[in-house]
Chain A
Amino acid sequence: MSLTQGSEDRNRVVLRVSNLKLNFHTYGGDVKVLDGIELYVRKGEILGLVGESGCGKSVTALAIAGLLPQNAEILSGEILLEGKNLLAAKKEEIRKARLSEIAMVFQDPMTYLNPVIPIGKQISEIVESDRQLFLKPVIEELLNESSTSRAGYVERKKLERILKDGNVSKREFGKLAKLYAISMLRKVRLPDPERVYSMYPFELSGGMRQRAMIAMALARKPKILLADEITTALDVTVQAQILKLLRELKDQIDASIVLITHDLAVVAEVCDRVAVMYAGNIVEVADVERIFSNPLHPYTKGLLESIIRPDVVKDELKSIRGSVPNLINPPPGCRFHPRCPFAFGRCSIEKPNLIEAEPNHYVSCFLYG
């Protein structure tokens, strides 16, 4: 499809999703959740994935991480992580990819942390699960930290020796993993990380838990961070802190972020590019300034018009007429056509492709060709 021949710099693409179609089997029939997702993420960028509830944002993220529920069936498509197709990979390979390359941070910090395992253990178990893989990053991180702290010379010597030998006993590594977890907790700016390490989730506030969850993602030094509505359950002040933290950490570990949200203010604040989703399709992709200054797709236009702004007085709150279609029997052709003010004959027959309407601005709508 057109996205693959686009004018983006190929070498800098970390993740590419092409023509991803998937259904959920339910008793009511097959729900056609994703209908040919086209997406790419460049190295070091923050891509915002926006859309209404139920449009398939989270499912896209789960598909990338290989965490789809059992009733999901992938019909077609490719998910390429640095050229490797995750959809064709074995379960064990996908698990390894989650361990070191794709990290996910979830929406609700209240329910996503295990209530009976201490916070720190939930971080250190990640690196402990693969000593070979994490030996180097853990020791480098600790060396890095000890150079700034007042940790002794002997400690450095020991760490350097372990790094040179390349092997370490399980117990010894457990201790290092604990120090590493504490250092991660410090990185996400949790106060008194040594104490937080042994605390349980119920002893932390929502913002602290979200930080702890970010620390879990950070500990793996991932290439892609999938952040699924991470600010939705937080206070506005905490939201800003978390977003700022996320952006800083991304630069530190040189990762890319897919930020899933329905909050356009968050998108405007932190994202480099935006992909707008509607009913299982990507309808528009562009740089964040473009989307806000020159939205092309009728859905994007409607979405932006429905934002409530204190500086613009409106007689009436704007909304997009109609409601989200039932995806068991989605509308034929363009899935947005029943709600679209500009719909014409072709819209209900053919499905529009994502085309490059102007440089680096993709839209799937017949109004543009």
Chain B
Amino acid sequence: MVFVLFGLSIIVFYLTRGLLPPNTALAPYITPRMDDAAKLSLAKGLGVATSACQSFEDFSMGKSYCITPLWNQYLSWLLTVLSGNWGYTLLPGISGSQTTWDVFAGRFPFTAELAIAASILTIAIGIPLGIISATHNNKLPDHLSRIVSLGGYSIPQFWFAVMLQLIFVIYVNVNGQGLLPANGALATSCAICIPNPGTISTFTGLPVIDSLLSGNISYFWDSLIALILPSLTLAITSIGALTRIVRSSMMEVLRQDYILLARSKGIKERVVIYRHALRNAILPAITVSGLIIAFLLGGAVIIEIIFSWPGVGQASLSAAYVLDINFLELYVLVTALIIVVANLVVDIIYAKIDPRIRY
């Protein structure tokens, strides 16, 4: 796991530093009043410029005597970021006023909240739908579930998002207000929202959990309502994927000999399906769920933009525009870390469910 992250940090470093002009590396650390001499010493301090470098001009032109070898730069970079120094953000509007780390840490909980909500929806809808599909193979419930899953899988998310907004914000309205909020992570102006929810203190960063911990139920309600449309949009694709996987693996398991034996024992069909079949059929679904959760946590850029969701996905797109490479590096590394951890968790669950697997 550590090796994967280490390898990935090398790739990320090469892609951002090796391919871009050397002074982009300095950008997050430059303050407005720095002159060229100060910039040069900063470059030397960050290990990008050699000590032999005479002028900042030569450095930005990329004169070879000025630039330290890439592996050397990598080591200095690794030490800098591992000590927590990711420099100042270049994001428009807040450029230079906040550190990259603070911006990321402030936004990440929103993405996490959205992703967790979408994962819960995916698993809570996808798995039962897949089971129903398999047990009513080629009957009406299977056809309905097929329409939902293939439809959901094929619908472009941005279009689905806009349709949801049209329906629940514009068409369905009560007293001139839309039923659900169109954007933001806290809904204060919609038909079922509570207008002044007050404030909460920060524990985990996730508004839904923090509001409960602070005992502020109106805040909790407003955050929950704000989650409905974006998390549904985010989940719709993965629901389709998971449903189809559960369906096919369930159908495969239902054909197995041990299911015939279980039926021959005269136990209830419900027990046959949930105890005997599901435990075997759920294994591939767990693999996919792990990947889906990791994928969702990595941020859904389009959805965050459509719903003005203050998460990292939206910020990473802006970061790409302004070449805020530290933010991008942080984003990629955290996403990778999540995927690696998700895989680890999947492996652990696997071993718990299937006694044949031992590590």
Contacts and interface: CB of A to CB of B under 8 A. Distances in A.
A98 B264 CA distance: 6
B311 to A, nearest CB: 38
B267 A111 contact: no
B264 A95 contact: no
A111 B256 contact: yes
A99 interface: yes
Interface stretch (A41-49, A101-109, A258-266, A337-345): A101-109
Given A125-B275, A200-B355, A200-B356, A111 B257 contact: yes
Contact of A106 (B261, B275, B353, B354): B261
Contact of B276 (A97, A108, A117): A117
B275 A117 contact: yes
Contact of B265 (A98, A108, A111, A115): A98
A354 interface: no
Interface in A186-223: 200, 202, 213, 216, 220
Given A116-B353, A117-B276, A125-B271, A99 B258 contact: no
B266 A202 contact: no
Interface string B116-145: 000000000000000000000000000000
A155 B1 CA distance: 53
A113 B356 contact: no
Interface string B248-283: 000000001110111111111101000110011000
A72 interface: no
Interface residues of A, number: 28
A129 B271 CA distance: 9
Interface string A77-108: 00000000000000000011111100110101
A202 B261 contact: no
A113 B280 CA distance: 12
Contacts of B271: 125, 129
A112 B280 CA distance: 14
A286 interface: no
B265 A216 contact: yes
A146 interface: no
A106 B260 contact: yes
B356 A126 contact: no
A200 B279 CA distance: 14
Given A115-B356, A116-B280, A220 B266 contact: yes
Given A116-B280, A202-B355, A129 B267 contact: yes
Count class of interface residues, chain B: 20 to 34
A144 interface: no
Contact of B263 (A67, A129, A216): A67
A53 interface: no
Contacts of A220: 265-266
Contacts of B354: 115-116
B279 A117 contact: yes
Contacts of B260: 67, 106, 112
Contacts of A98: 263-266
Nearest to B353: A116
A111 B267 CA distance: 19
B268 A129 contact: yes
B344 to A, nearest CB: 21
Given A113-B258, A114-B276, A125-B275, A104 B353 contact: no
Interface string B278-299: 0110000000000000000000
Contacts of A106: 257, 260-261, 264
A179 interface: no
A113 to B, nearest CB: 6
Contacts of B276: 114, 117
B93 to A, nearest CB: 54
Interface in B329-355: 353-355
A115 B280 contact: yes
A213 B262 CA distance: 11
A288 interface: no
Contacts of A116: 279-280, 353-356
Contacts of B264: 65, 67, 98, 103-104, 106
Contacts of B256: 111
Identify which of B260, B268, B279 gathers the most chain A CB atoms within 10 Å of its CB.
B260
Contact of B262 (A96, A97, A114, A115): A114
B257 A202 contact: no
Nearest to B356: A202
B279 A95 contact: no
B258 A112 contact: yes
A95 B265 CA distance: 8
Contacts of A65: 264
A125 B353 contact: no
A299 to B, nearest CB: 29
A89 to B, nearest CB: 13
A218 to B, nearest CB: 12
Nearest to A226: B264
Contact of A113 (B261, B268, B355): B261
Given A67-B260, A97-B266, A106-B257, 17 more contacts: A95-B268, A95-B269, A99-B267, A106-B260, A112-B261, A115-B354, A116-B279, A116-B280, A116-B353, A117-B276, A118-B355, A125-B267, A125-B271, A129-B266, A129-B268, A202-B356, A216-B261
Interface of B: 256-258, 260-269, 271, 275-276, 279-280, 353-356
24 contacts: A65-B264, A96-B266, A98-B263, A98-B264, A99-B265, A99-B267, A103-B264, A104-B264, A108-B257, A111-B257, A112-B260, A113-B258, A114-B258, A114-B261, A114-B262, A115-B258, A115-B280, A115-B354, A115-B356, A116-B279, A116-B280, A116-B354, A117-B276, A202-B356
Top-4 shortest CB links A-B? A99-B266, A98-B266, A111-B257, A104-B264
